[in-house]
Structure formats: structure tokens, C-alpha cells
Amino acid sequence: MNDHKQPKEDEMNIIEMQYPNLDDFKAEGLILDIGGGGEGIIGQMKGKLVIAIDKSKRELEEAPSDNLKIVMDATDLQFLDNSFETVTAFFTLMYMLEETREKTFKEVFRVLKPGGRFLIWDVIIPEMDEEEKKKSYVVPIEVKLQDKTIKTGYGVRRPAQDKEYYKKLAKKTDFNLLVESEKDLIYYLEFQKK
Ligand SMILES: C[S@@+](CC[C@H](N)C(=O)[O-])C[C@H]1O[C@@H](n2cnc3c(N)ncnc32)[C@H](O)[C@@H]1O
């Protein structure tokens, strides 16, 4: 579980186990992984091809993979324009407020090369009433990598989000939609910089 202050059982809304499909994706050059602390799943999958950035040093220190890790805020990326072919966000956008999500999309667009792709795996967070909003929304996941299966959980108190929300945000940022799919409460989106 990635929230360090563990909420009590009655302060959590734990949804059913989700099983994201994490097929080995093709990527040219280095991959920038946004919010790559915690389990650092993309780092575990792609190893030294990954530069993981996270605003939390502790989350990066805890990530078990041995790729390069840098403390950095996704809303203020310290890379030049047109630096990467591939940027990933694996259950990271769910941890952000709406304004942060918007700024992150702009920054990802900026650091991607033309034709570069932004790959997102995330979960539906439904609109909630005031009582429900006080609880942590906890998403248990089980993900299969080539050589192992990882079970973890991501818990947040954050605004609603779904696939359509990110498609709108991507359009506003000038991304093209390349791929979309969903499975139970999780979705995969792939956007391309024109
Ligand atoms: C728990 S992780 C998500 C899962 C992680 N990608 C993995 O593979 O396990 C979410 C991370 O996003 C980070 N994060 C949230 N907002 C951020 C921001 N504005 N910039 C950088 N990292 C951010 C959090 O610090 C947290 O470590």
C-alpha cells in the first residue's frame, strides 16, 4: 500500500482486486516514468531503460528496481523539450489533483518528441458524496511481469477520474488518441504528440 499514513479499515473504501494487462510495450530510447516510486512497476519491467521521476524521495528509495531515479515534480520537468520517445504513468495520475493533472499533461507533451507516446494505466474514481470523500479509495492490483507477479494496492483521496476525463484533457493538450482499452475498473490509454 503506498499511503504511508495507513488509514483505518472504516476510513477506506477498498474496491475489488484489479488485474491490469501490462504487456511488454515497444519503446525507442529511454522511457520517462512519471511517479515511478512506490513499486516502480515500469522500472521493474523495463530496467535501465527507465528514468523514474517522483516528487517523493522516500517513494523512489522504496522502489525495488535499479534504474535511474530522480526527485522531480511532474508539473515542472527538468528536461529539455523533445527529449523522450516514451513517457509512462502507471497508477500515478490518480494521486494528483485536477490542476496538477493538467500541468503534468502539458509538461509531458513538452518533453516528448514529435510522434512520441504517453502511456497511461489508471483506474476509475467515481464521483463521491461528502461522506465517501473522507474515505481513502483503495485499489488492490495484481500485475504479471515476465518473471513475477506483483500484488500491491494504491490508496488515495482524490477527485473523480475516468477514461473520458483523460481523453478530454489530452485533446485540450493537443495529443492524438492512439489506443484505448478497459478492463473492469481500470483503463489503458496511449496518446501521441503530433
Ligand atoms: C504510489 S505511486 C503510483 C504507482 C507507481 N507508478 C508504481 O509503479 O508503483 C504514485 C506516485 O506518484 C507520485 N506523485 C504524485 N504527484 C506527483 C507529482 N506532481 N510529481 C511527481 N510525482 C508525483 C507520488 O509521490 C507517488 O509516489
Ligand 1 neighbour 20 (Cβ under 6 A): no
Answer whether residue 2 is part of any domain. Answer: no
Answer whether residue 87 is part of any domain. Answer: yes
Q: Please tell me the total count of domains within the chain.
A: 1
The domain that holds 62 is classified in CATH as 3.40.50.150
The pLDDT, as a whole number, for residue 3 is 47
Q: Ligand 1: which atom is nearest the Cα of residue 40?
A: 8
Residue nearest to atom 15 of ligand 1 (CA): 95
Answer whether residue 62 is part of any domain. Answer: yes
Residue nearest to atom 3 of ligand 1 (CA): 92
Answer whether residue 113 is part of any domain. Answer: yes
Answer whether residue 138 is part of any domain. Answer: no
Q: Using alpha carbons, select from 22, 42, 20 the residue that is nearest to residue 186.
A: 20
pTM score, whole prediction: 0.95
Own/partner contacts of 126-134, CB < 8 Å, gap of 24 or more, are 126/160, 127/160, 128/160, 132/13, 133/157, 134/11
Answer whether residue 39 is part of any domain. Answer: yes
Q: Which domain holds residue 102?
A: 27-124+159-193
85-95 per-position pLDDT tens digit? 999 999 999 99
123-169 per-position pLDDT tens digit? 999 999 988 888 999 999 999 998 999 999 999 999 999 999 999 99
In whole numbers, what is the pLDDT of the chain averaged over residues?
A: 94
Ligand 1 neighbour 91 (Cβ under 6 A): yes
Q: Calculate the dihedral angle through the C-alpha atoms of 113, 114, 119, 120, rounding to the nearest 10 degrees.
A: 100
Residue nearest to atom 25 of ligand 1 (CA): 56
Q: Ligand 1: which atom is nearest the Cα of residue 44?
A: 8
Answer whether residue 71 is part of any domain. Answer: yes
Question: Across the 194 residues of the chain, what is the mean pLDDT of every consecutive 10-residue run?
Answer: 60 94 91 98 97 98 97 98 98 97 98 98 93 91 94 94 97 98 97 96
